[in-house]
Amino acid sequence: MIKDLNIRIAIIVVVVLVSVVYLTPTFFFDGGGKVPDFWKKAKILPTKTLNRGLDLEGGMHMLLGVDLEESLINTMDRMTVEIKTYLDKEEIPYRHVERHGTDGIRIVLTDPEKQDDLKAYINKTYRFFEIVETSTLGGEFEVTYKYREKDLLAFKDRTVDQTLETIRNRVDELGLAEPEIVRQGDYDILVQLPGLADAEKAKSLIKKVALLEFKLVDDKNDLAEALKGNVPEGSEILYQKIKDRDTGELLETKPYLIEKKTLMTGEVITDANISISSSGRGYPHVAMNFDSRGEALFEKISGDNVGRNLAIILDNSVYSAPVIKTKISGGSAIIEGSFTKEEASELAIVLRAGALPAKITVHEERTVGPSLGEDSIRKGFMATLIGSALVIIAMVLYYGASGLVADLALFLNMIIILAVMSALQATLTLPGIAGIALTIGMAVDANVLVFERVREELRLGKTPRAALEGGYSKAFLTIMDANVTTLIAALVLFQFGTGPVKGFAVTLSIGILTSLFTAIFVSRTIFDLVTSRFRIKRLSV
C-alpha cells in the first residue's frame, strides 16, 4: 500500500474521472448514439459506447453446418481437371481420369511405361494421396489414389476454418461492433450478430453460399426429354432466373441441362468488382480476376471446349452460359445476368470476401428483437439494482458509518467495471450482468472480512487507526486467496467458453480486479483520510 495519502487520493480521483469519461458516450450522448462534435474534436476522448451482447442489444443467432462431402467432391473434380492438364502438357496418353468415390481419383494410362512419371507428379503435387489399388491389364496401367485418413481429417478441419473465415469477412462488411463467429463442435459454426439493424440483409449475405462453379452445358442430350424426368446420368437441370433489370421482378426461369462435373470453382478468384456494360443501357455485370492456378485452369477449360456453352453457376443458379468462341487467357472473366445494381454489388462483395468452400446449412436460427433486448436490460439492471440496494442497506444497518464506506466503494466498483469494459470494447451480456452481481457480492464479502478483523482489533483495546491497520493486514491474504482462485476459474471459462459463458467470464474477471482496488485500496484510503484529518476516537463498525 502506498504510504503517501495524497498520492492515493490522486490515484482514486484519476481512476474515477477516467471511468466517467469512458462511460460518457454510453450514458450521456443520446444513449451513446450521437457523440457531439466538440467531443470528437478533442481526439483523445473516447467515442465508442459500451458493447451490448445479443441478449441485450437484440440481433441474430445462427448455428451453421458445413457440407464437407460436397466440398470434397468438388475438390476431387477440380483435381481431375488439373491432372488432365498435366497429362496433356507432358503428352502422356490416358483413357480416364475420373473421381473415384468422394475422396479418390482413378487414372488409366494407355502407356504403362509412363506410370513412373505420373506417380512422381502425384507424389510431388498431391502429397496427401496414397495408392490404394494398381493393375496393368490389356496394355493399360490403372491406379487409384485416395486421401490419407489423417489428411482427410485435416482437409475437413481446414474447410470449416476457411468457411468460418469467409463468413467473418462477409460480416465485417456489415460494420458490426463485436460479432461472435466461432466453431462449435467439430464441424458447426456459431454466428451471433448483436445490434444488427437489417437482419434480412445479413441473413442473405451469410446464407449466400457463393459457391461459384464453372460447368459445361450438356449439349449431347435433349433438354426437353430431361424436363420430362429422363435426366441422363452425370447431368442435372439447373435454372437461370430472368429478372427485369430495372425493377428486379422475376420474369421467368430458364432451364439448362448441365454436366455435374465441376471444372473450376470460385476459390481461384483473387478479385471481383461491379462493372457497367458499355453497350446498350449500361447494365451491371461482375468482373473477376483469377490467380495463376485459375488462369491456367480457365485457359485449359476454354481451349478444350471451344464452341460449347460454359455455365457460370452460383449457388446452383445459372447466371450466364456463354458460348466459348476461343481459348481465353489473361486470367479474367465476367459474370453477366439480369442483375440490378444492388444484386451485382452484393455478388461482388461475397466473391471478394471469398466464396465458401462448401455449402452451409442453417441448423438453428433465432432473431432477438430490440424490444426483447430492452426488456432483458431492464430486468437485468433492475435485479442488480435491487440486490445492490439490499446489500447497501444491510451494510449500513450492520456496520454503521463503515458500511457507508463499503457502499461507496461498491458504487465506484460498478462504475469502474463498466468503464473498463467500454475501454476494452468487451461485450456486456445478460450473463455478464450476473457476473457483475456476483462481483458485488464478493466485494462486499471482502469488506465484511476487513470489518470483522477491525472489530476484533477494537475489542483488544486498540485505537481506531491501529485497529484499521491490523484489520486490513489480517484480512488481506484471505481476500487475495478467494479472489485469485475465482479469477483463475473465470480465466478458464473465458478460454474455453463461448457466447454467454465468455460474457460472464469477462465481467467476472474485470469485476474481481476492480473490486480488489475498491474494497482494499479505496476503502482503506477513505478510512485513513477520515482518521487522519478528523482524529476520531471511536470507529463506527
The larger pLDDT score, comparing residue 97 to residue 270, is at 97
Cα–Cα dist 193/52, whole Å = 11
Phi, psi of 374 (to 5 degrees): -65, -40
> Are 471 and 451 in contact, with CB atoms under 8 Å apart?
yes
pLDDT at 286: 79
pLDDT reading at 385 higher than 60: yes
Residue 539 grid cell: 470507529
How deeply is 13 buried, as exposed, middle or buried, from its count of CB atoms within 10 A (0-12, 13-18, 19+)?
A: exposed
pLDDT reading at 156 higher than 60: yes
Q: Which amino acid is at 68?
A: L
Q: How far apart, in Å, do the first and last CA atoms of the chain sit?
A: 22
Cα–Cα dist 259/219, whole Å = 9
**Overall average pLDDT of the 182-196 stretch:** 81
Q: What is the pTM of this model?
A: 0.56
Q: Which amino acid is at 63?
A: L
Residue 279 grid cell: 453497350
pLDDT reading at 427 higher than 80: no
pLDDT reading at 32 higher than 70: no
Cα–Cα dist 6/14, whole Å = 12
Cα–Cα dist 195/191, whole Å = 13
pLDDT in tens, 255-277: 999 998 888 877 787 777 777 76
- Say if strands 51-52 and 427-428 run parallel, antiparallel, or are unpaired: parallel
**Overall average pLDDT of the 483-498 stretch:** 83
**Overall average pLDDT of the 277-284 stretch:** 63
Cα–Cα dist 452/458, whole Å = 10
pLDDT in tens, 494-519: 877 766 677 788 888 898 899 889 98
Residue 498 grid cell: 463461448
- Tell me if residue 236 falls in helix, strand or coil: strand
pLDDT at 107: 94
Q: Which of 380-384, 452-456, 463-467 has the lowest mean pLDDT?
A: 380-384
pLDDT reading at 279 higher than 60: no
Instruction: List strands edge to edge, sheet with 140-147.
Output: 94-100, 104-109, 140-147, 129-137
Q: How confident is the model at residue 197 (pLDDT cuts 50, 70, 90)?
A: low
**Overall average pLDDT of the 450-457 stretch:** 90
**Overall average pLDDT of the 378-384 stretch:** 75
> Are 29 and 39 in contact, with CB atoms under 8 Å apart?
yes
Q: Which of 199-203, 215-219, 385-389, 529-533 has the lowest mean pLDDT?
A: 199-203
pLDDT at 310: 87
Residue 477, CA distances (Å) to 66, 110, 240, 466 in order: 51, 82, 73, 18
